[in-house]
Amino acid sequence: MGSQVLWFLVLLTLTTICKSKSCHPNDLKGLQDFKAGIRSDTSGRLSKWKKQDCCKWEGISCNEAGRVASIILPGLYTSDGAPVQSTMVGELSPSITLIDFLEVIDIGELGGLTGKIPTSIGLHLPHLRKLNFLGNQFTGALPESICKLSKLEEMYLQENVFSGFVPSCIGGVKNLRRVGVHSNKLSGVIPESITRLTNLESLCLQDNFFTGIIPENIGNLQELKELDLSKNSLTGIIPRSIVKLNSISILYLNANQLEGEIPPSKPGQLSSLSFIRLQNNRLSGMIPSSIGYLTSLQRLSLANNQLKGSIPSSLGNLKSLTELYLSNNQLSGQLPRSIGGLSELLFLSISHNMIEGPLPGEISSLSNLQSLNLSFNNLNMSTIPKWLMQLPSLSRIYLAGCEIHGEIPEYIAKSLLELDLSANHLSGRIPAWIGSLSRLYSLNLSKNKLVSEIPTTFTNLEILGVLDLHSNKLEGSVDAVLQMKSKFVGGSLTYLDLSDNSFSSGVEQIGVGGQEHIQHLNLSHNFLKGRFPTSIETLKSLETLDLSHNGLGSYLPISLANVTALEKLMLHKNQFTGRIPEEFLKLKNLKELNLSDNLLEGKIPYGKPFLDFPQSSFSRNRGLCGKPLPPCKS
């Protein structure tokens, strides 16, 4: 009896050893072909795939029968407790379908994998539960055989280059819970059969080329928590059944061509809805008063539509609301007083509507409000309410086109990051105390009636990135701006527009005063004189330069050719002399050019980008010749 037991233990041990060292031939070939298709693996995981026992290879796990059940080789993984981001470059081998007990394929976020989903994937991988190809460079269509993957629960194909249609049979994959195919080149209609996926919790199809309507029975997806169809070309109305999505928390339909009214809901419907994006469509009608039933809402964006009527007072019921965007519609009437009850509100934008004044004083209760945009309405504010500037959390305020008169008031909040008072009737000087707004990043005072010089205190605006003072009556020198101190190496200023004023000096400070990161510089329509500064070459990031309609003269500096990021160069209506430097042919990114109405002469440099510009870019000079103008005389 003892010897029988001993033999049994020996056989069991041998069987275990054989199992541990063997790999099913199909699995082995599938994995070896996968490895052979990879040209580069920064993680080094595949280099450890050497012995025949594939169940012990990194990223591979097997079931109890010793068959490979999962390939888990994501780009982002943990090694020794620390996160690692790796890449793989190569082509996916179709032999992966030989591994016919696979339940999980996770090769997402590797960045460099190419190839197609094997057309027979649904025929050969019947056990597949999770398919993750996200964040690679896969191409081709989604194969029809995907519909045969009856156990598939998760499918992540986003951020690739897949094209073609979503198979109409997709509704047959009944166990699907999460579908992500966004950020590809998929087209066609969203199949109606998708509404039969009653276990679906997340459906993300955004940033593709889908057309047609949103499936009419989308409301059947009772488990759906996230629906994102944004950034497509969907048309038609928002289906009324959408209010039946009782589990929905995130609803993004923005950036399509949807029309019609926003479907009204009843009490209890959409009770979990927290985030709505319907902006950038063609929605019409009124904002339904039933919006007040959506008491879980935290963010609501209806901007850039064709909505009319008044803002419903029921919005005041949305006590969890933190962001409200209603700009660029045709809304009218006054802001409802109930808006003062939105104690959690951080961002409020109602610009470009027809909202009338006066502003309800209840807004003063919005102690958490950080950003307020009331620009371009019919508010006729005359003056900025003092209580508005006393909101304790306010850091960004936009009051453009609000019919504000008089001087800039001293009670402007000193903690502002962004201030826009453009397109009003402000007069007098720019106050010197603006230089004490130490946190200011963006200042727009354009299209007013401001006079005198830019205060020298502007040099104290150490983090100012955007300054727009165009279309005023300012004069003197521009050097206070160009010599601003900065907390950052190379300066903080990226956008500067001082055009359409009466400035007469300071142009020589361009590129000298430490502001080297300017991307947009417009000093046109002033009275600037002197030479074009050779220091322009320090502005390596400059994309737009407009010095037109001034009195600048002398030669065009060769150093301008070193500003190779330049896309727009406007120097017309000045007094520049001499030749156009041949070195300007280095400006390969140039898309707009105007050198007309100067005193330039000689042959126009031959080659791109100059060959792309019309005669009008060079006309009315002293003696320019050569293409696109008439040829030079010998």
Q: 366-378 pLDDT, tens per residue?
A: 999 999 999 999 9
Band of residue 633 on the pLDDT scale cut at 50, 70, 90: confident
Give yes or no for residue 81 having a pLDDT over 90. no
In the block, residue with structure tokens 């699907």: 176
What pLDDT, in 10s, does the model give residues 297-336?
Answer: 999 999 999 999 999 999 999 999 999 999 999 999 999 9
What pLDDT, in 10s, does the model give residues 140-153?
Answer: 999 999 999 999 99
* Residues 548-574, mean pLDDT to the nearest whole number: 95
Lookup: tokens for 409: 């008031």
Give yes or no for residue 6 having a pLDDT over 80. no
Residue 405, beta-bridge partner list: 425
Give all strands (DSSP E) within 250-404, no chain letters. Answer: 250-252, 259-260, 275-277, 282-283, 299-301, 308-310, 323-325, 330-334, 347-349, 354-356, 371-373, 396-398
* Residues 350-374, mean pLDDT to the nearest whole number: 96
* Residues 48-67, mean pLDDT to the nearest whole number: 93
* Residues 37-49, mean pLDDT to the nearest whole number: 94
Give yes or no for residue 19 having a pLDDT over 70. no
* Residues 18-43, mean pLDDT to the nearest whole number: 87
Per-residue CA distances from 331 to 264, 305, 543, 548 (Å): 18, 10, 37, 40
Per-residue CA distances from 33 to 49, 54, 621 (Å): 12, 13, 68
- Decide if 589 contacts 611 (C-beta within 8 A): no
Give yes or no for residue 241 having a pLDDT over 60. yes
* Residues 449-468, mean pLDDT to the nearest whole number: 94
Instruction: Say which range, 16-20, 50-54, 522-526, 620-624, has the weakest mean pLDDT.
Output: 16-20
Average pLDDT, the chain: 93
Give yes or no for residue 216 having a pLDDT over 50. yes
Q: Please spell the DSSP secondary structure of 560-595, one letter per residue.
A: GGG-TT--EEE--SSEEEEPPPGGGGG-TT--EEE-
Find out whether the peptide bond into 358 is cis, omega within 30 degrees of 0.
yes
pLDDT for 22? 78
Lookup: tokens for 447: 């299209």
Give counts: helices (H), strands (E), the chain: 4, 46
Band of residue 82 on the pLDDT scale cut at 50, 70, 90: confident
Distance between CA atoms of residues 543 and 63, nearest Å: 59
pLDDT for 80? 81
- Express as a percent the part of the chain with pLDDT over 70: 97
Q: What is the Rg, in whole angstroms, of the alpha carbon atoms belonging to the chain?
A: 32
Q: In this structure, what DSSP letter does residue 287 have?
A: P
Pairing between β-strand 82-85 and β-strand 76-79 as defined by DSSP bridges: antiparallel
Give yes or no for residue 533 having a pLDDT over 80. yes
pLDDT for 14? 38
- Express as a percent the part of the chain with pLDDT over 90: 89
Give yes or no for residue 12 having a pLDDT over 50. no
Lookup: tokens for 243: 């209010």
Residue 176: phi and psi, rounded to 5, are -60, 125
Distance between CA atoms of residues 290 and 528, nearest Å: 58
Instruction: Say which range, 251-255, 381-385, 481-485, 585-589, has the weakest mean pLDDT.
Output: 481-485
Band of residue 21 on the pLDDT scale cut at 50, 70, 90: low
Residue 76: phi and psi, rounded to 5, are -105, 115
Pairing between β-strand 529-531 and β-strand 282-283 as defined by DSSP bridges: unpaired
Give yes or no for residue 20 having a pLDDT over 80. no
pLDDT for 9? 40
- Decide if 91 contacts 66 (C-beta within 8 A): no
Find out whether the peptide bond into 581 is cis, omega within 30 degrees of 0.
no
Closest by CA position to 210, among listed 182, 176, 170: 182
Residue 623, beta-bridge partner list: 601
What predicted TM-score, i.e. pTM, was given to this entire model? 0.90
- Residues 459, 496, 444, CA angle at the centre, nearest 5°? 85
HSE-CB of 602 using CA atoms within 13 angstroms: 12
Give yes or no for residue 5 having a pLDDT over 60. no
Give yes or no for residue 437 having a pLDDT over 90. yes
